[in-house]
Amino acid sequence: MPKQKHEALQIQFGEHIQKIRLKKGLSLRSVAANCELDDSNISKIENGKFNVQLSTIVELAKGLGVEKRELLEF
């Protein structure tokens, strides 16, 4: 996959994560407290600056209180 498409997906994914978090009224710290991720890494994900692994998706879902599949519906 070309680098630009890869970066565009990261940005779209991050925007989707942020939208879910804000819709639920959660802070970065509260999401981090509910999973095994640092709030600075969650911020990087939301800003499209972090390429997530499957294990990160699992942790994000736990922290946001949503099903894993919901994170990929963007």
Question: Looking at residue 42, which CATH number applies to its domain?
Answer: 1.10.260.40
pTM: 0.88
Q: What is the pLDDT of residue 1?
A: 61
Segment 42-50 mean pLDDT: 95
Torsion of CA 8, 44, 47, 18, to 10 degrees: 110
Segment 39-54 mean pLDDT: 94
Q: What is the pLDDT of residues 3-24, one digit of tens each?
A: 677 789 999 999 999 999 999 9
Residue with more model confidence, 74 or 45: 45
Number of domains making up the chain: 1
- The domain of 40 spans 3-71
Whether 62 and 17 have beta carbons less than 8 Å apart is answered as: no
